[in-house]
Amino acid sequence: MRKRWIYLCTALILLAGACMTGAVTSGAAPADPVDLEAECSLTVRPVDLTIPEKQEYWEDMQNAHIVLDLYKVAGAGKVGGYDTYTFVPEPGYSLDISDYSVLQELTAEDWEDLAQKAAETALQDGKALETGEASETGTSFDSLSAGLYLVVARGGDLEPSAYTKMMKQEVPEGETGEPEEKLVTIANSARYEYAFTPQLIALPTKGEYEGEISTANPLPWVYGAEVFLKSGRNPRYGSLEIVKTLRNYESVEGIIEPVTFIFRVVGMLDGEEVYNEVDSITFSEEGNGRTRLEGIPATAQVTVTEEYSGISYTQVIPPDNGSQSAVIVADADNSVTFENVYNEHRTHGHGIKNRFVYHEAEDTWGWYPDPEQQGGQEAE
């Protein structure tokens, strides 16, 4: 089955002043000079719920147990004679940035690179200044001193090795080449994997004025910033093992002939069929047999039906040729069981297991015999 992935966007809004108050009209009086002794605060919201389609996004995201780690990357130092400040790196952090007045010269890619470097240090050797639970109304960090801060969102129930990963980014439209990998942090709901981009925020900050963020603009210094997490999500998938028990086995005049049991697996999610596959298990003696199906959307309700067992065998678990059901849980051992007995009706027959393979370049499907079985010819 083909998988559709939603890649994390590389475009970031990391600059100080994001999500701040609107611009002041031209001719406004100059703002008071920056006060680096004033306390600052930061509010981090998971999503912009004023956008209607983000409501469903948040309804699932809040099941991912997201926590926010705040790291201080650099302090702030006054620049004599100018209404701006310099960054004084914290121990262990060494970023290629001088003072606030050059922020407007940095591109989104520049900020992304800075955030990546800061996150690599923070996640390896750093210690979070504060940690808070993600909240619909926003997670607030108060009593902060002036400086540069890094926000990392992650799954609170995951170990560091599980919530950090390198993820391929989407190639911008019109560009070619291999997708670039970036460090992201992960949180999981039952259905989706959420990937978060590390974010840098400078405090205090100024809002955007006439298209630019600059210490020279007449907007006042803002000591309480508000930002939204930058995230993307991928569907999660799980596997299903069909376990088959054959209590006793048909033998015709001492000759053992294989018998094949065929199963159909159908997965439903939100009233839509998202998975439909046929698989089989072949026996040449009594005992247990297994087959595993991969790539089933997590949280899908699957129904497994034994569609063929030959007239020599009767299904006893579940009885009356019934089906087995399961809800697919990602990263878990999902299984269903069937059991048959020999019913004394001797027959001859066997099956060949085939696989359908999608060829993306030609946008066609090919039908091939399973390489683990003998016989059969390739058919298109």
Which position has the higher pLDDT, 330 or 375?
Answer: 330
302-332 pLDDT, tens digit per residue, is 999 999 887 788 999 999 889 999 999 999 9
Residue with the two structure tokens 């940035």 = 97
Q: Label residue 4 by pLDDT band (50, 70, 90).
A: very low
pTM of the model: 0.79
Q: Label residue 368 by pLDDT band (50, 70, 90).
A: low
Highest mean pLDDT of the ranges 7-21, 127-141, 308-322: 127-141
29, 34, 38, 43 alpha-carbon torsion, rounded to 10°: 80
Q: Label residue 49 by pLDDT band (50, 70, 90).
A: very high
Closest of 19, 163, 139, 16 to residue 70, by C-alpha = 139
Which position has the higher pLDDT, 212 or 34?
Answer: 34
- List, as one string, the DSSP characters of 141-181: EEEEPSEEEEEEEEETTS-HHHHEEEEEPPPPTT--SPPPE
Give dist(CA 280, CA 261) in Å, integer.
5
pLDDT of residue 218: 79
94-123 pLDDT, tens digit per residue, is 887 776 666 656 777 888 888 999 999 999
- Cβ pair 197, 8 in contact under 8 A: yes
- Cβ pair 117, 26 in contact under 8 A: no
pLDDT of residue 371: 56
Span 40-68, average pLDDT:
94
Best CATH choice for the domain 237-349 from the list 2.60.40.10, 1.20.210.10, 1.10.238.10, 1.10.274.10: 2.60.40.10
How is residue 288 written in tokens?
């247990």
Q: Which whole-number Å values give the CA distances from 133 to 43, 47, 137, 145, 159, in the listed order? A: 12, 14, 11, 21, 16
197-251 pLDDT, tens digit per residue, is 999 999 999 877 776 666 667 789 999 999 999 999 999 999 999 999 999 887 6
* Domain extents in the chain: 40-235, 237-349
Give dist(CA 92, CA 151) in Å, integer.
17
